[in-house]
Each structure stands twice: as structure tokens, then as C-alpha cells.
Amino acid sequence: MVMPRASASIRNPEVQLPILRKDKGNYYLEMQVNADSDDERELAVTRRVSLDKLSQAEWNELETQYNNLDLSICNDVGINKALENIKDCRIRRLFLALLTFLNPRQVSIILYLYREAAIQDNGSFVSFRSNDLLDSLGYKRTKDGGFAARVRSQLNQDLVALHRTELVFARSLQKGEQIGAKVSVKSILRIRDYEIDKVPRNFDLSKAADYTYELADAYSVALEFFEDASKQNRNVLFSKDIDFKEKLGGNAKRDYKTKLLIYIASRMKWDRLKEGQYLLISKNCLLKNVDLLGSNKSRNNKILWRTIEQLNEDDYIIEAQELTAKSKQTKIQFQINPQKIKCLDI
DNA sequence: AGTAAACAAGGGCCGACAGT
DNA sequence: ACTGTCGGCCCTTGTTTACT
């Protein structure tokens, strides 16, 4: 339920640009995703990286770099271009990780880990080998049987981003007569340990993520949003044959299909969708959550339907149709295939 | 005026390769 | 195993043009 919000891109009007914040001696680099006033489902989420290990000098340096940044041009010239003036590799990677948080590759990694959790049956704890994950993501091996350093590096950066980016969000809580709020601070996952094969290199997790192209060979992680299906939880289950391969030669920057799938799953949970019921979502809501925010409306619409069609071909959606009520906003009605995704109703 | 297609430019990612 | 560079490929996107 948190993922669609936490992964909102910089084009989304509810997303604020990253800021540096000092809070009682703690330093944060953070990005706020505001709530949508029209829809109580859409909670506000702050994603942030704690920078508590920074010295005063490093903080000053970061502030200087930040003040020289013009992040508002990200949408015009691309995020990489907007950041290329930052000479310090670490600061550049920090901003990049925050700006592109939960990019398609990272979402694929999460889906892989949750599937592994189901297979390994060890609660929220998952162990995996880096190369297995890279295989599952569909990357090609090099001639000598390994993976390109670039790809390896990317994986460690993604894992560390999922590990050290905290998500802060509030949920209302019934406290007797009053309605209070419960604020959660969670990461998508926490890296508990990692292994290096053969000669123990001098490998440091965050240093590698910030400065080098290194990757550990095996990791153990705890999934912080994991909820045990055997306990009284309302889970949305995906079938195990879910495909999260990077598309060949495709643009890994955008992946409308996975975004739509994740959003539909989150709505199934919010709406407590029972088997046989229709899922009803307004079209504007879909367009926003799939990140179709371009200026050409008809094109956005076309891409949305193309994407729905793809999920239909993959059997996630049995049928979808547009409902246009007079003087009301257009909605799309989905019939979901319970063989592929279903909401456990406990 | 509103919508849909055609055009053109540019971004980001993978893979290959050479070098350390 | 890591670093750095380059080309190719596909996709997105603002803009322009055509259509109803």
C-alpha cells in the first residue's frame, strides 16, 4: 500500500524536491510526497536518508553543493544531466538514489525477494546470492561467466538505497473515542549481513554504494514490510510466476506495466476486494499513479490502455472497461484474475 | 476547440571492449 | 574483479500538423 506513494516520481505534482534538514542534531536528506486531498487512500510519505555520520565539514560541503543545485530542471534535461555538476560521487549518488527511489529495477528486486521469502519460508528473512538475482532480472553474463561491473555495482547501490532510505508515514488509529495517529519509520529492507567469496576483499557496504563499482556475493536481508500470512493479516498475494525481467533493450527507466500492477494490488488491499468483485478506479488516479503525466492527454490515455492490455495478455486482468458517468469523472472497472493476484480476506 | 497522429530530439540503459 | 568509454537501441516527450 505504501509502495505506489513512496515511488512517486519527480514529475508527480505532489512530490517535493529534495531538501536538507537538520533535526535535533540529526541530518537528513529527504523528499516529501504529499497526500492528495481528494483521496484519503493516498497517504503522505517522506522518504529520507539519515546522514548522522557526517562531520560538520562534510555537512557544510553538502550544503554548498546543494545550494548550487537546480533540481527543478530534472524534468526538462533529465536527472543525470541535472546532477552532473556535482563533482563528489557520493553526493551525486545520494541525490540520484533519492530522486529515483523505487525505480523499476528496485521494484523487481523487491518482488524477487518476496518470492524468495515465500520459497525459503523463514518469515521476513531472506538470503540470496547476487548472481542468482542478476540472472532473474534478466541480465546477460559476460564471456568469463560473471556480470559486468556496471550491473553489479548497480545492484549494490539499489540494495543500499532500499536499506538506508527510511519511509516515514502516518496512519490514523482508533484510540477509544479519539482518533490518533501512528507514525511508522521503516525501510523497505534491512541488510543484516553479506558475504564475499574467495579472498576477503576489503568490502564496505555503504562505501561501495557511494564510491565504487563493488558488490558483495551474497546477502541476507530482513523485509520490513513483510506480514506473515498465517497471522491475522490482509495480504495481497501474487502468483509465483510473476515476471520481473528487465525488458530486452527496453527503457528500464519507465515500466508502466509493473507500476500499474503494483497500484492495482495496493488498491485491492485498500478496497478489501473480495473474489468476484469489480475493482473500480478513477482514470485520473490511474494516470497519476502510473506516472503518465505528459502534456499530450490522448497519448497518456493511449499508453494507459496499452498497459492495461498488456496486463490482460498476462492474465492479471480478465476484463477492463471504461465507465463514463455524466458529470462524474471517468472510472475504469477491472475484473481481476484471482489465479494471479488475490486479496486474502481474513 | 478538442483529439489524434507524425515529427524530431534526447535520455537512459545495456553490452562490448580495452585497460588496470 | 573493478573502471571508464562508446555505440546502439528503445522509449519518452514536447511540438507540430492534420482531422473531426
pLDDT tens-place string over residues A143-154: 888 999 999 999
Distance A77 CA to B10 C1' (A): 9
Contacts of residue A119, Cβ cutoff 8 Å, sequence gap at least 6? none
- Is the Cβ–Cβ distance between A96 and A105 less than 8 Å? no
Distance A212 CA to C2 C1' (A): 8
Q: State which nucleotides on strand C lie below 7 Å from a protein beta carbon.
A: 1-5, 8-16
- Is the Cβ–Cβ distance between A132 and A221 less than 8 Å? no
Model confidence over A242-261: pLDDT tens digits? 888 866 555 556 789 999 99
CA distance A289 to A15: 12
Distance A9 CA to B2 C1' (A): 29
Q: What is the pLDDT of residue A200?
A: 61
Which residue, counting CA atoms, is nearest to the C1' of nucleotide C13? A294
CA distance A6 to A102: 7
CA distance A188 to A102: 10
Looking at per-residue pLDDT, the higher value among A325 and A203 belongs to A203
Residue A29 — very low, low, confident or very high, per pLDDT cuts 50/70/90? very high
Least reliable range by pLDDT among A44-58, A221-235, A329-343? A221-235
Residue A307 — very low, low, confident or very high, per pLDDT cuts 50/70/90? very high
